[in-house]
């Protein structure tokens, strides 16, 4: 994962796919620490069916100095899977902030059933991990005063993309028993 929007957030991600089961392992650091006296929630998703890329600064089409989530959609696509800590993993849980990891550094591991669109994107190389939530102090002041492009009840900082990484397929074919496993 590489930082977006000057967030300082970094990390790494592995998606291990066996049939329709995916195990996602993530380590994230340098993320926004606190939000309203609690751990800063970091919505995180597998985005799918865009160009399979992370946006550059030119994606800031409204010129406010940040690439918000919507401005990144042409690059990384829409939410395919919400990498929540429990319960639903569908796009419906995209902003279920109480079910995402939080704080400045965290590890995440979860096994869940892949839905067909996300599985297809993983195979076709258009699956992109995006971690959201940036310390507003790191944003241009005018952008930090805005509300989120995804939910007008949340500040822009809460949903701003903080880190992004493209997933590259790798066959882990060393032990072919039981069919081919695809590590991504
Ligand atoms: Cu996202």
- Nearest one of 23, 11, 13 to 182, comparing CA atoms: 23
Q: Which helix (H) or strand (E) holds 75?
A: helix 69-76
CA–CA gap between residue 105 and residue 27 (Å, rounded): 8
CA–CA gap between residue 149 and residue 159 (Å, rounded): 8
Q: How far is the CA of 172 from the centre of ligand 1 (A)?
A: 27
Q: How far is the CA of 45 from the centre of ligand 1 (A)?
A: 4
CA–CA gap between residue 168 and residue 184 (Å, rounded): 6
Q: How far is the CA of 81 from the centre of ligand 1 (A)?
A: 9
Q: How far is the CA of 130 from the centre of ligand 1 (A)?
A: 5
Return the SS3 of 138: helix
pLDDT at 1: 97
* Contact call for residues 1 and 53 (beta carbons, < 8 A): no
pLDDT at 171: 73
Beta strands in 57-178 (DSSP E): 78-82, 106-113, 128-132, 161-166, 170-171
Q: How far is the CA of 182 from the centre of ligand 1 (A)?
A: 23
Residue tagged 């591991």 (tokens): 109
Q: Which domains does the chain have, with CATH numbers?
A: 2-183 (2.60.40)
pLDDT digits (tens), the chain, 184 positions: 999 999 999 999 999 999 999 999 999 999 999 998 899 999 999 999 999 999 999 999 999 999 999 999 999 999 999 999 999 999 999 999 999 999 999 999 999 999 999 999 999 999 999 999 999 999 999 999 999 999 999 999 999 999 999 998 887 644 444 445 555 5
Q: How far is the CA of 181 from the centre of ligand 1 (A)?
A: 26
């Amino acid at each position: 994962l590489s930082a977006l929007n000057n967030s300082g957030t970094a990390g790494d991600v592995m998606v291990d796919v066996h049939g329709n089961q995916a195990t996602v392992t993530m380590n994230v650091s340098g993320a926004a620490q606190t939000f309203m006296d609690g751990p800063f929630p970091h919505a995180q998703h597998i985005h799918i069916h865009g160009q399979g890329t992370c946006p550059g600064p030119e994606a800031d089409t409204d010129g406010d100095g940040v690439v918000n989530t919507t401005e990144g959609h042409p690059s990384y696509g829409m939410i395919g899977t919400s990498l929540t800590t429990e319960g639903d993993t569908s796009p419906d849980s995209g902003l279920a902030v109480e079910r995402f990891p939080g704080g400045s550094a965290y590890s995440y591991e979860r096994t869940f059933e892949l839905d067909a669109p996300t599985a297809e994107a993983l195979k076709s190389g258009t699956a992109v991990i995006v971690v959201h939530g940036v310390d507003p102090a790191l944003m241009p002041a005018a952008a930090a005063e805005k509300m989120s492009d995804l939910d007008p009840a949340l500040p822009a900082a809460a949903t701003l993309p903080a880190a992004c990484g493209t997933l590259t397929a790798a066959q882990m074919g060393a032990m072919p028993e039981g069919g081919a496993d695809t590590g991504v």
